[in-house]
Every structure is written in structure tokens, then in C-alpha cells.
Amino acid sequence: MVSKSQPEKQSLYYGWYIIGALFFATLIAIGGRQGFGVFVKTWEQDWGVTTTTISIAAATGWLVNGISQPFVGRLTDIYGGRRVVVWSLLVMAIATMGVATVTNIYGLIALYGFIISFAAGGISPATTGVIIARWFEKKRGIAMAVLISGGSVGGMIVVPFLSYVLIEFGWQTAWLMIGGLALAFGVPLLLIVVRSNPVDMGLEIDGEESENTPEAEVTVRPVGPKFAEKWKDALNSRPIWQLSVTYFVCGITTASISVHFVRWAISEDISTGTAALAFGALSGINACGVLAIGLLSDRWQRKNLLAAVYLVRGLAFISLFVLPGPIAIWAFAVIGGMSWLATVPLTASLTADVYGVRNLGTLFGFANMAHQLGGAAAVMLFGWAFTAWGSYDIPFAIGAATLLAAGIISLSIREKQHSVRYVQVPAGGATGSELITQDGD
């Protein structure tokens, strides 16, 4: 007989329900943003502008999204992730529907570049990843991977869907539909299911029943030697900078493709529908790749897997300027698909392993800011290069070179010296424990 004073043990850990809700929100949010490139050629024709001009709106969005990351991360650390993700998706959904009313590039910059992109920071790993890191420790790698695979599934489903709606009904309908889905289903799902911390459900991390009484709502856990009591302390150590630099390169390569992939395909006489289908295939392959990386990352050193991901993506970029267009598009889909969003769970998990989860929102927010700043610069420069030279070959070659550098830097991370997975400081000391507290959500 179960005591009424103790919560009944669930057959399935509640953290997996939270992953399900955040998976759907990520699918809509990331999938919608990856679909931006589908509309570039249409907007050029409708508004009489160049690829460079459209790239300004996209680059502004990546820049604003990057700036938002430390702020939403800090809000998550202070107030809990539930409030941040609910309000962020609500604002993002309404503004996405508003894009359907835009008639020029200035409106696109205002709505997409500023409002949508800032709100999207609240549905990024700087918030969703922090929530998951606080619910999972032993299976943190696979939990993060399942969450991030939502973005891959979003690319697989949403990008071809947006392409279809664009061709059949127009771009305005496409934006109304994706925003409407987020508003009707995503926001209520987050509101009902998501909780910021396992203590809110009377549980401990990984699903154990909490022995805490209402008067003792603090759990003390061992941490690694680099545990950050204050987020600023982490800035004096090497791993956060290594992870941020490599994530900057990740931003360069993912943002440039999300905005310019379809435009590159059209320049190679490949149709918008085929390009969207290829990107969907890339995302589908990536969903499997991310899950495989997640499983392996709970067994192997994450930094070695991270390096492999960057190097494989480098091969994908090389295929774009070495192979003929009709072959390159599918080669890129297959090779790139094995690595596309796999950097996210690895980077987030490494940050949590090294510095703990107390200030994870802020710290991973800085890494995400680096990612988005790299993306903003790449989107703008790739657009300028295509307008100036009529080709993406040189930008793709530069992207491949940066990925090689990111792979080398990832290998240089001393994970076995810094990660709580390999070196633990016994709980109980002021600098040797991490307090997981109830944040009132």
C-alpha cells in the first residue's frame, strides 16, 4: 500500500512527457525558421529586391535571436523554463501569423527580424535544453537528442509542407498556417505539460521519488571540478570558450543553408519543390543521426563525437562545390543529414557536465549567442557573395574550412579532466555541491 504522504511512482518518468511537449514546440519553432529559405525567390519577385536584401532580414533575425539567448537563459535560471517557453511560443505564433500581412522588406525585418526571432530564443536549447538537463542526468545525452530531433523532424515535415502551401496557395497562407498550428496546439501543450523542475512533481532528477518534505525542498548533488557557483566564474575557464567558438562555426554552416539552400538549388536549375524535398530528407536522416549520437554520448566522450560531427558536416559542404548540382543536392542531404543538429545535444550536455545546471541557462545562452552571431554573419555574407558573383562556391568552401577548425578545437577539450561524468567533487561543501531548488512554477 502506498502512503498518501508519498507520491505514487509512475510507470513512465514524467520527464519524458515534458520532452514530448517540448519536442512538438521545437518541431514548429525550428521547422518554421528553417523554412525561411523557401520564400526567398518568391519575395525577390514580389517585392523587386535582391537576394542580399532578403538576407538582411534573415541576418537581422539571426543576430536578434543570438542577442536574446543569454537573456532568456538567465530568465530560465531565475524564474524557471515553463514560463519562458510558454510566453515565447505565444508571441512567436502571433507574430508568425502577422507575417502574412507584410507587403515589403521593412515589414519582414520588423516582424521576422525582431519580434519572431527574439521570441524564438525562448524555444531554443538555451531554455528547452535547460529544462531537460534539470530532469535528466544519467540519460541526459539521449534525452537531449530526443528533444533536438524535434528540430530535425520539423525540417523534414515543415519545410516541404511550406513549399507545397507556397506553390498551391501562396506564401501568406503558409505563414498563417504555421503560426496557427503553434497557437492552437503548441502553446496549450506547453502550458498543460511542462514543469521547470522535477521537485515540482515531488520527484528527483532521473525519476527517483523525492524524500524531501515541504520544509526541505533542496537536493544536494555532486558536481564536477569546474562547477560554476556564479555564471561569471565559468568565463575564466577554457571549455566555455572552446564550446562557444565551435558553436559559432555551427551557426555559420546551419544558418547559411537554412536561408540559402533553396536559392542555391534554383541557381543550379533545381526546382523549389525538389530542394525542399532534399532538405526534408536531410532532416529525416538527421533525426536518426541525432538519436544515435545521443545514445553514444551517454557511453563515449562527448567531445570526440562533437568533433566527428563537425568533420562530417565539412565533407557535406565540400560536396556542394565539387559535385554537379543534381548530384550535390542529394549528397549533401545524406552526408549533412548525419551531422546537422547533432551538435546541439552534445554542446548542451557538455556545458551541463562541466559547469552544472544551476546557471546552465545563462552559460548555454552565451554559447547559443555565439551560434546565432555566426549565423547572422554567414547569412549576410552568403547573400552578398551570390549577388556579386552569381555563385555560392567560395562561401561553401569557407564553410568547409571553418568546420575543419571546429573539429580540431572540439578534440582539444579536456573532457575527462572537467566533466562530472569522469571527475566528481563529493557533495556537502560550498564549492562541491549543486543545489536543485523549487522555482515556483
DSSP for 170-189 reads: -HHHHHHHHHHHIIIIIHHH
The number of residues in the chain equals 441
In a domain, 210, yes or no: no
Q: How far is 355 from 228, CA to CA, in rounded Å?
A: 5
Determine the Cα–Cα distance for residues 218 and 45; give it in Å rounded to an integer. 59
pLDDT tens sequence for the chain (441 residues)? 444 444 455 578 899 999 999 999 999 998 888 888 889 889 999 999 988 889 899 889 888 988 888 888 889 888 889 999 999 999 999 999 999 999 999 999 999 999 999 999 899 887 998 899 889 988 888 888 888 888 888 888 888 899 899 999 999 999 999 999 999 999 999 999 999 989 888 888 887 655 544 444 445 566 777 777 777 888 888 999 999 999 999 999 998 998 899 889 999 999 988 998 998 899 889 888 888 888 888 889 999 999 999 999 999 999 999 999 999 999 999 999 888 888 888 998 898 888 887 788 888 888 888 998 999 899 889 989 998 998 999 999 999 999 999 999 999 999 998 888 888 776 544 344 454 444 444
**What domain range includes position 155?**
14-204+217-437
- Residue pair 196/437 in contact (Cβ under 8 Å)? The answer is no
Q: What per-residue confidence (pLDDT) applies to 153?
A: 86
Nearest by Cα to 392 from 215, 223, 270: 270
Domain membership of residue 2 (yes or no) is no
| Residue 100 lies inside a defined structural domain of this protein | yes
Residues 205, 436 contacting (CB under 8 angstroms): yes
Flag whether 274 is in a domain: yes
Residue 209 lies in a domain: no
Please choose, from the candidates 397, 380, 395, the residue with its C-alpha nearest in 3D space to the C-alpha of residue 50.
380
pLDDT at 3: 44
- pLDDT of 4 reads 44
Task: Assess contact for 410 and 310: CB atoms under 8 A.
Answer: yes
CB 148 within 8 A of CB 131: no
Q: Is residue 75 part of a domain?
A: yes
CATH number, domain at 251?
Answer: 1.20.1250.20
Residue 225 has a pLDDT of 73
Q: Which 3 state secondary structure label does DSSP give 5?
A: coil
Neighbours of 439 (CB within 10 A): 19
HSE (side-chain half, CA atoms, 13 Å) at 82: 18
Q: Within a domain: residue 114?
A: yes
CB atoms within 10 A of CB 367: 28
Spatial contact of 130 and 76, defined as CB atoms under 8 Å apart: yes
Would residue 271 count as lying in a domain? Answer: yes
What pLDDT is attached to residue 209? 56
Please tell me the total count of domains within the chain. 1
- DSSP class of 203: B
Question: In one letter, which amino acid is 185?
Answer: F
pLDDT at res. 280: 87
